[in-house]
Amino acid sequence: MPDYIILIVPFIFGVVVGSFLNVCIYRLPLSISIVSPPSSCPVCKGRIPFYHTIPILTFLLLRGRCSKCSAPYSVLYPFVELLGGLSAVALFVRFGLTPELFSYFYFVAVLIIITFIDFEHQIIPDVLSLPGIAIGLGLSFFFLPIGFINSIIGTLLGGGVLFIIAAGYYLITKREGMGGGDIKLLAMIGAFLGWKGVILTLFASSLVGSVIGVLFMATLGKSRRTALPFGPFLALGAIIYLFYGERLIDLYINFATAPLG
Q: Is a pLDDT exceeding 80 seen at residue 173? A: no
Three-state secondary structure call for residue 72: strand
Lowest mean pLDDT among 3-7, 23-27, 64-68, 239-243: 3-7
User: The pTM is what?
Assistant: 0.90
Angle at 42 between CA 37 and CA 45, to 5 degrees: 65
Residue 221 pLDDT: 60
Of 198, 217, 93, give the one whose Cα is nearest residue 155.
198
Helix (H) or strand (E) segment spanning residue 23:
helix 8-27
Which range among 45-49, 89-93, 98-102, 184-188 shows the weakest confidence by mean pLDDT? 45-49
For residue 170, name the pLDDT band (cuts at 50, 70, 90).
low
Task: Summarize the confidence of residues 178-200 as an average pLDDT.
Answer: 92
Alpha helices in 143-227 (DSSP H): 148-173, 180-220
Higher pLDDT, 247 or 98: 98
Largest interatomic CA distance in the chain: 71
- Categorize the per-residue pLDDT at 94 as very low, low, confident or very high, splitting at 50, 70 and 90: very high
- Of 145-154, 210-219, 222-231, 236-245, the least confident: 222-231
- pLDDT reading at 159 higher than 70: yes
Tell me whether residue 234 is exposed, middle or buried, using C-beta atoms within 10 angstroms of its C-beta: 0 to 12, 13 to 18, 19 or more.
buried
CB 140 within 8 A of CB 147: yes
Average pLDDT value over all residues in the chain: 88
**HSE of 32, CA atoms in CB hemisphere, 13 A:** 14
Asked if the model's pLDDT at residue 184 lies above 90, the reply is: yes
pLDDT of residue 115: 97
Q: How far apart are CA 185 and CA 124, in angstroms?
A: 8
3-state secondary structure of 198: helix
pLDDT computed for residue 193 by the predictor: 97
Distance, CA of 12 to CA of 16 (rounded, Å): 6
List, for residues 14-59, the tens digit of each pLDDT value: 999 999 999 999 999 998 888 887 888 777 877 888 777 889 999 9
Average pLDDT over residues 210-235: 77
Q: How many CB atoms lie within 10 A of CB 207?
A: 12
End-to-end CA distance of the chain: 51
User: What's the rounded Cα separation, in Å, for the pair 254 and 258?
Assistant: 6
pLDDT at 166 over 80: no
130 alpha-carbon distance from chain centroid: 14
Percent of the chain whose pLDDT exceeds 70: 92
Instruction: For residue 80, report the phi and psi dihedrals to the nearest 5 degrees.
Output: -65, -40
Instruction: Determine contact, residues 191/140, Cβ cutoff 8 Å.
Output: yes
Does 134 score more than 80 pLDDT? yes
Q: Cα separation of 191 and 157, whole Å? A: 10
Q: Looking at the chain, how many residues does it have? A: 261
**pLDDT band of 225, cuts 50, 70, 90:** low
